Amino acid sequence: MQRLLLLGDEALAQGAIDAGLSGMYAYPGTPSTEIMEYIQHSKDAKERKIHTDWSANEKTAMETALGMSYAGKRTMVAMKHVGLNVAADAFVNSSITGANGGIIVVVADDPSMHSSQNEQDSRFYGNFSMMPILEPSNQQEAYDMIHYGFEMSESFGTPVLLRITTRLAHSRADVVRREQRTQNEIKLPEDLKQFILLPSIARKRYKLLLEKQNDFIKASEESKFNRYHEGEDKSMGIIVSGIAYNYLMENYPDQKVPYPVLHINQYPIPEKYIQKMNEEVDSFLLLEEGYPFIEEKLKSILAKELIVKGRLDGTVPRDGELSPNIVAKALGMEVTYGEHIPNFVAGRPPELCKGCPHTDSYTALNSVLEDYEMGRVFADIGCYTLAALPPLEAIHTTVDMGASITMAKGAADAGLFPSVAVIGDSTFTHSGMTGLLDAVMENSNIVVMILDNSTTGMTGGQTSSAFGRIEGICEGIGVDKDHIRIINPLKKFHEQNVEVLREEIEYNGVSVIIPRRECVQTLMRKMKVKRAQRKKDKEAEK
Ligand SMILES: Cc1ncc(C[n+]2csc(CCOP(=O)(O)OP(=O)(O)O)c2C)c(N)n1
Ligand code: SF4
């Protein structure tokens, strides 16, 4: 079969194409974005007419996928870990409705917060929703698990959560493909009421979900993805999950670990193996990428006093990614891995690109706010969050997508003036619109700047659902037309822009200011494509 060199994200995408995917829904977020991008650029996916859509947010993505599953087709949803908070209502309830066509929810966690505001571990959501969880430890497993996950989803009638972390998502290895499977035909669920979560039906569905738990455990215990490796030295047993296995093996170049090792890649936790290890060893070492998920469960499974080393007792740091060196320390071995890091990879603070429209928007805002001692700027998540750093230092809060407008409203309710919200175009349609409605309903005294760079810049320039719609949305929500102002964030319009901002700050009510200029990165890419096309046309004329 064909071998491909793929990122973990791409292995998931190729796996889904080959496993009979009919539709994929996602909202961009590092480190998950490349899954959708791969499918959107795949000739194969195009030929197979796989439907793809960058949804307005993770919740709409999850719900749309659930609709496709209802219609009997295989579907995948992808998001970063914090996106699962947004999708949580649909996600948790989907374990009660169950699945018809296979549905896999891929969530990419970001331990060490390389590009996130927290490092939450999605396995807790899977456990909370009582869903099977898959956690590949390499690219081949990522590919294979998609096939396996769809089969499991359809045979158990449940959505399946597939969790990856940054290093797997963004590193390459070769993957052997399988034969492609055809897509499912449209087929309605056998139980036509299963997706109607009225209490009387939901109670029955919940009981069914509880009954399925033993089947899920059995599947984990029989899964080829959960493996027990015997070891001579029984002073300790190592339980390792997902990609953490690689960090362990980096410390044993001969691939011979002296201790018994239980490698968990599928949940619920395979209790049979835990019992086996407990009978053999004097103590446990837990190596997990993320929170101490298995570690916390261990004592409840075994119900006795145990010596457990891991993140909870400080043997492994409580936060951040694992590394071969962290694992070496936990094993009492010498730390030797990658000691000499070259200077050119030393960390640099991130900054807005040269010529970024956001710089000019903030320069104007900073000028106006010099005249207001209490002026506060409630910002959101996007490239424009970088204005928290020097030289701009223009924003005062960033919490979650959409929190700018609502926090500005809360502060204005408390009497803070001026209270300014700054939000990007994509973030506005993701989760800012409802907050704006709250502000309109109470005619809150806030200024909302919707920075329209015509793209989702921070995650690499995906299409923004807001494109060409912002004024219409704001008007529809009820913002007074006279207080929806469009400005051009360029240096030469600085004075004009300052004046507009000042006028709207002085207006007592909801104002929306839309600084509109395209992101220079997407603009440059478009120009490059145009130049290449022109060159091609000229050559064709010759
Ligand atoms: C719930 C959630 N989903 C996704 C992300 C990843 N993410 C961060 S900012 C952003 C969108 C930024 O686009 P926009 O608001 O248009 O601002 P720009 O970066 O273009 O300035 C995304 C998708 C996130 N941080 N949180
Ligand atoms: S990618 Fe675009 S929006 Fe982001 S900093 Fe660069 S120019 Fe600005």
Q: Which helix (H) or strand (E) holds 211?
A: helix 199-222
Cα 110 to averaged position of ligand 1 atoms, centre (Å): 15
Look at residue 348 in the predicted model and tell me its pLDDT. Answer: 76
Q: What does the pLDDT average to over 170-191?
A: 97
Share the mean pLDDT of the chain.
96
Q: Is the pLDDT of residue 305 over 90?
A: no
Q: What does the pLDDT average to over 253-267?
A: 97
Residue with tokens 């499912």: 184
Whether residue 31 is preceded by a cis peptide bond, meaning omega within 30 degrees of 0, is yes
Q: What does the pLDDT average to over 238-259?
A: 96
Using most ligand atoms within 8 A of CB, pick from 84, 381, 449 the residue to mutate for ligand 1.
381
Instruction: Check the CA dihedral 11-17-22-26 and report its sign.
Output: positive
Look at residue 395 in the predicted model and tell me its pLDDT. Answer: 98
Nearest CA to ligand 1 atom 10: 382
Look at residue 300 in the predicted model and tell me its pLDDT. Answer: 82
Cα 359 to averaged position of ligand 2 atoms, centre (Å): 9
Binding site membership of 520 for ligand 2 (Cβ less than 6 Å): yes
Look at residue 340 in the predicted model and tell me its pLDDT. Answer: 66
Structure tokens at 473: 């949305």
Nearest CA to ligand 1 atom 7: 29
Look at residue 339 in the predicted model and tell me its pLDDT. Answer: 64
Look at residue 347 in the predicted model and tell me its pLDDT. Answer: 73
Q: Which residues contact 16 (CB under 8 A, 6 or more apart)?
A: 24, 39, 74, 76, 104, 146
Q: What does the pLDDT average to over 20-24?
A: 98
| Least confident interval from 1-15, 34-48, 293-307, 387-401 | 293-307
Q: What does the pLDDT average to over 384-389?
A: 96
Percent of the chain surpassing pLDDT 70: 99
Give the amino acid at 78.
Answer: A
Enter the pTM of the model. 0.95
| Least confident interval from 76-80, 291-295, 345-349 | 345-349
**220: closest CA among 172, 252, 266?**
266
Burial of 384 (0-12, 13-18, 19+ CB in 10 A): buried
Cα 29 to averaged position of ligand 1 atoms, centre (Å): 7
What would the pLDDT profile of 92-134 be if each residue is shown by its tens digit?
999 999 999 999 999 999 999 999 999 999 999 999 999 999 9
What would the pLDDT profile of 448-495 be if each residue is shown by its tens digit?
999 999 999 999 999 999 999 999 999 999 999 999 999 999 999 999
CA separation, residue 74 to residues 61, 65, 379 (Å): 14, 9, 38
Cα 88 to averaged position of ligand 2 atoms, centre (Å): 30
What would the pLDDT profile of 340-383 be if each residue is shown by its tens digit?
666 677 777 889 999 999 999 999 999 999 999 999 999 999 99
